[in-house]
A and B are shown apart, each in its own frame.
Chain A
Amino acid sequence: MMTDIAIQAQNLGKDYGPHRVVHGLNFEVQRGEVFGLLGPNGAGKTTTILMLLGLTEATRGQVRVLGEDPWRNPLAVKSHVGYMPDSVGFYDRLSARDNLRYTARLLGILEAERDTRIQAALTRVALDKQIDQRVGTYSHGMRRRLGLAEILLKQAAIAILDEPTSGLDPQSTESFLQLIESLRHDGVTVLLSSHLLDQMQRICDRVALFRAGHIVLMGSVSTLAQQVLGDHSHSIQIEAQGPDLCAALAQVPGVARVHKPTDGHYILTAQTDVRAQAAQAAVLAGAQLRSLKVDEPSLERIYRQTFTEDQTQ
């Protein structure tokens, strides 16, 4: 039965001997959603991914991927789920075409359509000109794109990407992120695992923050900001000359706190972006506004706040 839920985990857990590495995870990923797994090394992200693929058996709980149990029916799941591991490897002696031909044969793609689909996938990741070049000569970024081409060849309903942009230069990262966003437009559900918070914030609809095998936070960035940063989610810096503005700025609706570190320099913390109202209040108070900057809620702040709390506990 077709549901809107692509991935569903209930009390999902994994032990390695006496070590509990994943503790009762509960989450759902909707079809077409870009969902991010965030957390430090060893937090249980990759183990969770392996359980979703049926490559390792869950010790507790259950997981459904496209309605199937990946451990009991891994062939059905893996037919529709593309996976690009952290450090994706290919057969260096073979060309990109031959590497993908092997994948196509494993997937059972008919010979008649094999080469057309390979060509299309490689064209989309801009590797069509190097199609017959040995993969051993490929750069790190090209290998990553080839990994994505494999997912495109599969015509996967779900793409699981483990640290997809790690080790890429800014230009390659940008083009890779665009490719991931294009998957979203194709209706592909994307599950990303990464440490790169700014990128996750940019492309993920929702994220789950892992800490020691638990999901400590889950939701969209704005939801998490509300949860973690509360009324202090936006930080606005104002530089102005003239009278003291503390009282005037404190009157602005939504402002939680006004801090004046130096003369003419104010920092407001607010629940929302109140730059316009703050500017108006400053001008009405007779001050000369020189600059106005907002620090929007970012995953980095949420992450830092979460893990700083963890360290101080």
Chain B
Amino acid sequence: MSTRRIGSPWRGLGAVFTKELADHISSARMRLLEWLIVLTAAAALYGAIQGLRQTTASDPFVFLRLFTDAQAPLPSFAALLGFLIPLVAIGLGFDTINGEYNRRTMSRILSQPIYRDALLMGKFLAGLAALAVCLICLWLLVMGAGLILLGVPPSGEEILRSLAFLVSTLAYSGVWLAVALLCSVIFRSTSTAALVALGLWLFCAMLWPMLAPGIAQLIAPPDMLAVLRGGIDTHTLAWQQGLLHISPSTLFNDTAITLLSPATRSLGPVFLSQIQGALLGSPLPLSESLALVWPQFTGLIAAVVLLFTAGYVVFQRQEVRT
């Protein structure tokens, strides 16, 4: 006899999604995180605009520089997003599942005619939608501020590039939301889940870039002859690049640089053979930039899928008693 379960796994998905989205949008936590982003982003934007007013009369991508220009001590808007978006995503997701257990609502909710699939997916999509709302608002604010303060409209390519950046930021936030979701499934204590997720974020964003070169040298020791000649061992370098790109932060940074700085022609080390015949400093067409970041972007999507699947499998195997 087949043990396949009957009925749609997505029944109730809409109800879970709308309830969770309403919870996120109206929660004090979300408001706090939004204000944190808006205020720091506004400061970064202000710095960028001050710089741009003096130097960018002939720049065809002046609007994109709103995202990338930094004025010390503040980082650029894009760098700030790369730092703060994981914080918001973790803030929204760290108590997704364990919160239900702690409130003792899990068994009551799962005794309604829905599968766990709908509950988990509904919660994840609601978190992603809340992040999307937050990012779209920020994008509109940047565009609006640029229009008012710079006095020039953005070009079509600038809009498309910034939209592509918006999508990649959403994918990046999805990775950290999925990390937080996985932690909330694994750990019953919300504070443990939050700490582990934040620890992973700090590890990926700060520690991993420092560790990856050392690990690469251990895995593929560089050719001493090449090192003595002042060159670099390509085998070691390939490992280093590969290891660095395990971190979602590296993937996002590459995506942001390529999309927002059209002059970026290559990611990672550039060899002389690659720049023969190239017009250095000239911008790449959007399609070329997209092709350049496609591996990074799909890497982010793959990470979301992988992490969500891990959370899904663990959640399906859990015993629901409370």
Contacts and interface: CB of A to CB of B under 8 A. Distances in A.
Interface of A: 16, 46, 50, 53, 55-56, 71-76, 78-79, 81-93, 102-103, 105-108, 147, 150
A133 B264 CA distance: 57
Contacts of B106: 89
Contacts of B5: 71-74
Contacts of B19: 102, 105
Contacts of B18: 105
B192 to A, nearest CB: 20
B7 A76 contact: yes
A55 B108 contact: no
B111 to A, nearest CB: 4
Contacts of B229: none
A85 B6 contact: no
B108 A88 contact: yes
Contact of B105 (A75, A86, A89): A89
Among all A-B residue pairs, the 10 with the closest Cβ atoms:
A89-B104, A105-B15, A75-B7, A83-B111, A106-B112, A89-B105, A78-B113, A73-B6, A75-B113, A79-B113
B20 to A, nearest CB: 10
Interface size of B as a range: 20 to 34
B108 A150 contact: yes
B110 interface: yes
A75 B115 CA distance: 8
Contact of B7 (A74, A86, A92, A147): A74
A42 to B, nearest CB: 12
A92 B321 CA distance: 20
Given A56-B320, A72-B3, A76-B6, A106 B12 contact: yes
Contacts of A147: 108
Nearest to A160: B111
Given A55-B110, A73-B6, A107-B113, A87 B322 contact: yes
A89 B108 contact: yes
Nearest to B116: A55
Given A56-B320, A85-B322, A105-B15, A72 B6 contact: yes
Interface of B: 3-8, 11-12, 14-16, 18-19, 23, 103-115, 319-322
16 contacts: A46-B321, A50-B319, A56-B320, A71-B5, A72-B6, A73-B5, A73-B7, A74-B115, A76-B113, A85-B104, A89-B103, A89-B322, A102-B15, A105-B18, A106-B12, A106-B112
A125 to B, nearest CB: 16
Nearest to B3: A72
Contacts of A92: 103
A56 B319 contact: yes
Nearest to A104: B15
A106 B113 contact: yes
Nearest to A79: B113
Contacts of A50: 107, 319-321
A107 B16 CA distance: 11
Nearest to B99: A91
A50 B319 CA distance: 9
A88 B104 contact: yes
Contact of B111 (A16, A78, A93, A102): A78
Contacts of A105: 12, 14-15, 18-19
Contacts of A90: 103, 105, 108
